[in-house]
Structure 1
Amino acid sequence: MPRARHQPRLKVTATIGTRHPNVDLNVLAIAPAQPRYTPAMPPSPRIADFVASLPLAPGMRVLEIGCGPGVAARAVCRRIGHGRVVAIDRSATAIRIAARASRAECEAGLLELRLAAIEDFVLAGNEPRFDLAFAQRVGVLDGRHPADTALRRLKAALTPAAFLFVDGMPPLPARDL
């Protein structure tokens, strides 16, 4: 019997045969699945608040590290007018999703997506440095992984007056990276 349209998709959170003292082996536990990301979805409150806290101005060049599906990059594009955002991610899947969702911004020349880890990032040719960089939940920048190489690459890509913003941390001046 097909499920009604208004019922959420379900995903398995435990399977029969799970060996855990608090799990009845004859019960299959199910929970509503998380909604899939779609380009029409607005930024989550966490992303919206983070982007709103950035000191953005029209005409800035901004680097996003770990862009995922591009939600924050598109929100930044709306705040910097004729500026430019370069959004990088180490995941080809994330870049493909961001490209589909960000077609208008990319075609307008406001957003460029690149497949790159920050540890490998270098400016292209005569590309100017960035006025600001930001990252949300990027392990190499939030203290979960060693950051020496990443910080050297960032320092080379930022203007001396730029700042790096990482969620949950105070802003870091480029000169101190």
Structure 2
Amino acid sequence: MFTATWPKEVEGMARDFLSDNTVQVNVGSFGLHAVKTVTQVVEVVDERDKPRRLLSLLDTLLDTPEEPPKIIIFAATKRTCDDIVYELRRLRVNSLAMHGDKVQQERDWVLDQFRSGQCKLLVATDVAARGLDVSDIKVVINFDMPGQSEDYVHRIGR
């Protein structure tokens, strides 16, 4: 039996059906979990529909009479970051990319723009966003899911 999560209910059911000589292997941090005040919404979207769904979601989030929220979109690759920003800018949505191909001076400028609110939308890879300290991020979108549960928890816990 394999599972990505192991809630108490599942553990109890497993004990009823598995033999006494079973072995439990934990991958990642056993106590790792998202902050309870974070609301998580999961949408399973076909790969080819992801760009359209992202644009629809951003349209909803940014079409507000109040100040639009700061949003980080995480992508798996530098190319995907650049592709998303290209499409958003084509639609006149102010956005910036942060990834490993950016020189430090540009990363600092992008971060200053995001922190100050000059740009509300940051598209980043995990590597570029490590250690990112911006306190007023309201929305995190995982355009691509990370490969590790620890990365997911770090992404959404901003």
Q: TM-score range by the shorter chain?
A: 0.3 to 0.5
The higher-RCO structure (CA 8 Å, 6+ apart) is 2
Question: Normalization by structure 2: what TM-score?
Answer: 0.38
The structure whose residues are more often helix, as a share, is 2
Determine which structure has more spread, i.e. the larger CA radius of gyration.
Answer: 1
The structure whose residues are more often strand, as a share, is 1
